[in-house]
Chains A and B, each alone.
Chain A
């Protein structure tokens, strides 16, 4: 299994506070992704990265920013958390192989009160 970890795994915060979720992978994968999972919506792409300092928006990027200063780390930041951002967040990565397979982290449950 690919080594991909997320931190924190659980977080409770208050509306208006900044929150940063970290994704760390040890596979030297080029591509990294942040998804959020909500009932009835499946997995929706927030942002993704195709290399160090190269990122792009997904379908639900409003209210989120990302940074990738090293291959192994992909940070997701909520500048001012809102209750609508309560969700389970998944990080994923993939390499340059032709299979296209995504490897996922364990997920981070964020609750915004």
Chain B
């Protein structure tokens, strides 16, 4: 069975700093996607970034980037120039493509951006 582990339950950083959230996963498959979702206090789930396992290049979306290490099964999220609006719960998620329809989430990391 696939698992997703987020080892940092909670983090705090100062505004404008860079922060990295960790995620590891376990699978024996090769064709999958990884995601980071953000859940602000409004409770809405927002897709932050997506990475296809077959792509070696790390995904980037503005201030958000990932460090995808397939061999190590690691998928960390880096937030540069952090802003107060980045305060949220962040979830790492995993889905196998073309075989299993389940999307598995980690337990989340609560990120506080301090003014």
Q: Which residues of A contact B (CB under 8 A)?
A: 31, 33, 35, 40-45, 48, 50, 56, 58, 88, 90, 92, 94, 98-102, 104, 106-107
Contacts and interface: CB of A to CB of B under 8 A. Distances in A.
B64 interface: no
Contact of B103 (A33, A40, A42, A56): A33
Given A45-B103, A99-B33, A100-B103, 13 more contacts: A33-B103, A40-B9, A42-B105, A43-B108, A48-B101, A56-B101, A94-B103, A100-B33, A100-B35, A100-B95, A102-B35, A102-B47, A107-B43
A69 to B, nearest CB: 19
Nearest to A40: B107
Contacts of A98: 97
Contacts of A44: 105
23 contacts: A31-B101, A35-B105, A42-B6, A42-B91, A42-B105, A42-B106, A43-B105, A45-B103, A45-B104, A48-B101, A48-B102, A50-B101, A88-B43, A92-B103, A94-B103, A98-B97, A100-B50, A101-B50, A102-B35, A102-B45, A102-B47, A102-B103, A106-B44
A6 B95 CA distance: 23
Nearest to B6: A42
Contacts of B97: 98, 100
Interface of B: 6, 9, 33, 35, 37, 43-45, 47, 50, 91, 93, 95, 97, 101-108
Contacts of B47: 101-102
A94 B47 CA distance: 13
A48 B104 CA distance: 12
B91 A43 contact: yes
Contacts of B107: 40-42
Nearest to A50: B101
A90 B93 CA distance: 15
A107 B44 CA distance: 8
Contacts of A43: 91, 105, 108
A106 B43 contact: yes
A57 to B, nearest CB: 10
